[in-house]
A and B are shown apart, each in its own frame.
Chain A
Amino acid sequence: MTGDMMYGLVTGILFGFLLQKGRVIRYDKQIGALRLIDMTIVKFMLTAIVVGMIGTYALVDLGLAKLSIKPMIVGAIVIGGLIFGVGWGLFGYCPGTSLGAVGEGRLDGLWEWPACWLARGDLRRDLSPDESDGAHMGKFWQNYIAANLGRKPLVGYPSDRDWEYILISMVGEKRSVAD
């Protein structure tokens, strides 16, 4: 086990411990918040954010840490976020902390493992019926978007980044997606 992995384990144990003590990982609390009848997880989360924010920026200012900010891609984040929310409301656990729920005996949290199977691929390719058919939806979008943005069509098969193309084209956000 490398040092990084060791730190990951320790951090995870502390995080899981606090999540359980704060009673924020169980279904009743998560759905309670979404039903707006139990604000426990909101209190927990916003306090963690406020405290973490101060410390993180102090570290950054002292040159002891670097920020790692995910780009704001309006289409991907808004649509993906809403889709996530729909799944969250049905599942009742955050995928990431669903194992924490299992840790306190809530076995239905285990469903995340078979569930993530369907989300493992290059989503758009898997959703496209036939890759050799130039007229299918994926290709259509690809050409449509490439033409609209004045970019060359993508080489190779579309991947996650292409979702961004699609979503960006729908929302109209102008941003280079070339990483």
Chain B
Amino acid sequence: MEIFGGLILGFKNVFDPHILLYCFVGVVIGTLVGVLPGIGPIGAMSILFPATLGISPAAAIIMLAGIYYGAMYGGSTTSILVNIPGEAASVITCLDGYQMARKGRAGPALGISAIGSFIGGTLSIVALMFVAVPLANAALKFGPPEFFALMCLSMSLISYLARGSTFNAVLMTVVGLILGTVGMDPITGFPRFYFGSATLLDGIGLIPVAMGLFGISEVLINIELKARSVLETKIKTILPTLEDWKRSIGPILRGSAIGFFFGLLPGGGAVVPTFVSYTVEKRLSKNPQEFGKGAIEGVAGPETANNAGSTGAFVPMLALGIPPNPILAILLGALMIHGVQAGPLLMQRNPEIFWGVIASMYVGNIMLLILNLPLIGLWIKLLKVPYRLLMPLILLCCLVGCYAVNSNPAEIFIMAVFGFIGYILRRLRYEPAPLIIAMILGPLMEANFRNSLIMSDGSFMIFLTRPVSAVLLAISAFLFFTAGLSAYKKTKKRITEEFGQDD
């Protein structure tokens, strides 16, 4: 009953004209950044972040969330028509989506990815409600040792699932945790690593770092981008045929389940499930040789999975206060700036936010379906905007966005530094995602670590004698050690070779 009562409250909130407007703006911008290569949802969310400071926390989160799942819809368009993924979760769609477009079937490819996204998104919201509520209730009983263990587990998972080398991901996690210690000590307020700078005394801001690592570095990488050629194809109908439907319904349903499950895992997000879904569909298919040559299953499965994954990722954020990927880290940062504490208490203290976000996803998914199916022509036109015109615009938005959070030009400098760091890291195939998640979780992890030690009067056994924390730590240790096993390395290498690891 709790769920239905909550959902009714959520819908009441969402149907406020203001909130509806913000939800709409979010999904439109999401689709836009999904379509435009060179700016991903993280960049867009951090750019728009300052604009959310003046509105209610519920409206802010609903808009930012809309950008996230909206980008998953938009990302498929460029994959199918230009063979360039609009964002990382649509990399796989290029394989068969572009081939379908070359065979003159761009319409059904775009259609099935929008419809699949809608089904995957909606099924995941239902699952989200039924998983997040009991999880939050269970987490209410957690003390500092359990939270510390939970964060250890999230970080191990993030490193374990990161594309590229696990060792590099662990390095990035440690660097992120260190960056999180800059500024005042979370317990005593003692200033650390601030080198006399008033800006650093408040800690390194999430927004300048996120914009630098994901916005600026993306622009720097894209300086080399050559002009894109949009496939000149007449799109007669976007509606898939009966045969297409028959072939797609299985992948869509499996993609929803795979997406939701991997979305739950820290480090899973929306990218990993697309790879898994593609592999599963290829294995199950009677004609695996068609994959890579325009099989509709190869579009329907992964496109469903990325939407289901982006929705599933809200579970750990809403229920536990742990962001499983950088996008949710920004959402968490937005909540914090508004003075809202995410975590198990969110559902009780701020039900309007918790249920508002969930209800807004139902509404947002319907808006996206409407936006994407008839308006596809408009999005295609946008693809023709040259990057050299877009680039200064993206950079200007980053500059203003970064400045506006605290009206502090020093943060622009931090953004530039992290832009350069992000560029080098991407070039050397280090994942920036673990760094940013560790940075935002760092202070919480430290506070829980120290409080646990104070509770136990200095004994580390407290982490092992409490059953929940012992189990969580055992799983993290298991992941950490198996990451070195050759079987795991081989699989990871094969996946990297098959699909590439670039964003």
Is the A/B pair a real complex?
no
Give me the interface of B with A, judged by CB distance under 8 Å: none
Chain A residues engaging chain B, CB cutoff 8 angstroms: none
